[in-house]
Amino acid sequence: MTTRYLASIQSMAEALLIEHQLPDILDMKNPATGALGAMSITEVTEIVRRINGRCLTSATVGDLAMDATVISEALNAMSQSRVDYLKIGLFDDPDLEDCLEALKPQLKQLPQPVIAVLFADQISDASLVPTLAACGFAGVMLDTASKRGQRLTQLWSKTALENFVLQTKQAGMLSGLAGALKFEDITALRPLNADYLGFRSALCDQQQRTAALNPDRLEQLRLALAA
């Protein structure tokens, strides 16, 4: 199985910088405003038009409270960009279960599939995956909420990550692994057969997620995945 990858950009300028070496999924977010900070709908729309189907696209809708009304409004708004996938972070919160139940009708009505993002520094296993499948999510990505802490491979064991991927696939959803991943993590993660590995900081100058994306690093990633 070929390991596909997601690369996150924060602007049209970065999209133009890498448009001749596009990833499998071009993800759009604003890292300056949170783990899943949202870019403006206008800019996301412009990037989607520029890419014009040359690769898949995704966009986050922001670090939001676990309130179904707030999340629904954000999903509806970003849906207008015609991005291929919408992504919403599900933070550890007492209201999460009620929020997910209330989101079910909305997820069925949206024209795009929605990816749930769970945070490996807030949960310890994949027990929420069946619930997410029942709610109508199209996929689950495991990420990290704190961008100053440990990376994914330091937070969860290989066995736990393997179980996450297996449960997600058995539920009929896409699986993704991200969270301050470095190129050296590819060797350990590739055998798990996640649908996608997600990268941002490893592609940036000084490996800082809010710094500028470096196209040379993107080429290095492509070669590392192909090795």
pLDDT digits 0-9 by tens, 57-107? 999 999 999 999 999 999 999 999 999 999 999 999 999 999 999 999 999
**CA 185/CA 188 separation, integer angstroms:** 6
> Sorting pLDDT into bands at 50, 70 and 90, what band is 1?
low
pLDDT of residue 210: 86
Residue-averaged pLDDT of the chain: 96
**Whole-number pLDDT of residue 53:** 98
**Confidence band, pLDDT 50/70/90 cuts, at residue 146:** confident
The domain tally of the chain equals 1
The DSSP secondary structure of 99-125, one letter per residue, reads HHHHHHHHHHH-SS-EEEEEETTT-SS
Half-sphere exposure for 106 (CA within 13 Å, toward CB): 20
Residues annotated as catalytic (active site), given as ranges: 29, 87
- Report residue 13's pLDDT band, with 50, 70 and 90 as the boundaries: very high
| pLDDT for 207 | 84
CATH number for 85: 3.20.20.70
Q: Could you tell me if 32 and 8 are in contact, meaning their C-beta atoms sit under 8 angstroms apart?
A: no
Percent of the chain with pLDDT over 90: 92
Question: What mean pLDDT comes out for the span 134-147?
Answer: 95
Q: How high is the pLDDT of residue 206?
A: 80
2 has pLDDT over 80: no
pLDDT at 194: 97
Q: Tell me what pLDDT residue 226 has.
A: 87
Q: Mean per-residue pLDDT for 154-167? A: 97
Domain encompassing residue 207: 4-226
- Let me know: does 204 contact 14? Beta carbons within 8 Å: no
